[in-house]
Amino acid sequence: MIEVKSLTKKYDSVTPLRDVSFNVNEGDVIAVIGPSGTGKSTLIRCLNMLEKPTGGQIIFDGEEITARGYDIRKARMKMGMVFQSFNLFGHLTVIENLMLAPMDLLGKSKQEAYDKGMEYLRRVGMADKALSYPDELSGGQKQRVAIARTLCMDPEVILLDEPTSALDPTMVSEVQAVIRDLSKSGKTMMIVTHEMNFARAISNRVFYMDGEGIYEEGTPEEIFEHPKKENTRRFIRRLKVFEAVIDSRDYDFINFGAELDRYLLQNDVKSSEKNRIRLTIEETVQQILLPRYPDPDIHVAVEYSMQDDSTEITFTYGGEKFDIRDTDNELSLSMVENSSEKIEYSFDEGEERANEVKVWVKKTE
């Protein structure tokens, strides 16, 4: 369906894509993953010529869309694009937003455009908001509308660039659900995402991008379970780290909790595990460590490995030698112990924060 041959994109100071070649087959759902700045957006934007490639060819349905003189509007009609930001027209209602392009570009009648618009709104669960204005919708709802709008053009392929990354964490799953539904329907899609479990669940192919192009390609199973190359392995295995330093008794724990929630959600941590993580941190820091250290210097790091779904929490803190298991707050300690598989304590006098407690959080069965 799409053939990409030796695609190159150079900017003045970087070359995110060098000699990139691949095919997209009908029905493919390709997840594009990789560290930021490795050209994922550039790749997707080159595909529909939002960025003009510096070299190479893109052939779409047998036509070279990179050829000089080719009318790119023709290809764009068959290639839907979903962005991080929803780009809905604020002065139009939801259904009007959906009717616009089919009437203007496909010459659909008002009735046809309306019927189709309502059909897709129903599909994304937004039919009851047809007459609302974008401002009246949450971010997740806007993105669902934006996806429905794309579907109204009956595109052959849909390109999505981090469609959930601008959303409030509570809204990620409703948008993911809509995309998951689409991926099952046989739509050809290419989606850039940093949500690995999601990428894995919806795709049949995964492109790991690094070093000027597609560094490794494989099935989700290959990329996530048995990556062959070093960088892929490191990226997949890489423990995602959430960190905070608690340096005052007046520390803003409310904000800390919110940030932690965001991190856990982004990494698709299961909710029972989330509760154990939260509880372990709250009890350890607020109930056990803070009463002990009037002038706290506590570093908390949460590391989540998506490969084996395990979470490690490391507390390092300055001050006198103290193992949290020697606390006289038995209730808090038992809560921490019940949430964990293992707890280790070490003391290293050479370190500024000499105490270190590592907690391996119990996994959800």
Instruction: Point out which residues bind ligand ADP (CB under 6 A).
Output: 11, 14, 16, 36-42
CB nearer to ligand ADP: pick between 83 and 224: 83
* In the complex, least distance from residue 323 CB atom to ligand ADP, rounded to whole angstroms: 43
Is residue 42 at the binding interface for Mg ion, with CB under 5 A as the rule?
Answer: no
* In the complex, least distance from residue 344 CB atom to ligand ADP, rounded to whole angstroms: 37
Is residue 164 at the binding interface for Mg ion, with CB under 5 A as the rule?
Answer: no
Judged by beta carbon distances under 5 to 8 A according to partner kind, the member of ligand ADP, Mg ion, none in contact with residue 38 is ligand ADP
Helix axes 330-339, 271-281, angle to 10 degrees: 150
Asked if residue 150 lies in contact with residue 182, where contact means CB atoms within 8 angstroms, the answer is no
Residues pairing with 205 in the sheet: 30
The DSSP secondary structure of 126-146, one letter per residue, reads: -GGGTTS-GGGS-HHHHHHHH
Judged by beta carbon distances under 5 to 8 A according to partner kind, the member of ligand ADP, Mg ion, none in contact with residue 355 is none
Judged by beta carbon distances under 5 to 8 A according to partner kind, the member of ligand ADP, Mg ion, none in contact with residue 176 is none
CB nearer to Mg ion: pick between 18 and 278: 18
Asked if residue 159 lies in contact with residue 182, where contact means CB atoms within 8 angstroms, the answer is no
Judged by beta carbon distances under 5 to 8 A according to partner kind, the member of Mg ion, ligand ADP, none in contact with residue 39 is ligand ADP
DSSP 285: I
Task: Kindly tell me which residue out of 41, 141, 287, 355 binds Mg ion, with binding defined by CB under 5 A.
Answer: 41
CB nearer to ligand ADP: pick between 37 and 291: 37
Q: How far apart are CA 328 and CA 298, in angstroms?
A: 19
CB nearer to ligand ADP: pick between 13 and 111: 13
Q: How far apart are CA 263 and CA 277, in angstroms?
A: 12
* In the complex, least distance from residue 40 CB atom to Mg ion, rounded to whole angstroms: 5
Q: 209: Cβ–Cβ under 8 A, 6 or more apart, which residues?
A: 32, 33, 34, 38, 39, 40, 43, 215
State the residues that interact with Mg ion by CB under 5 A. 41
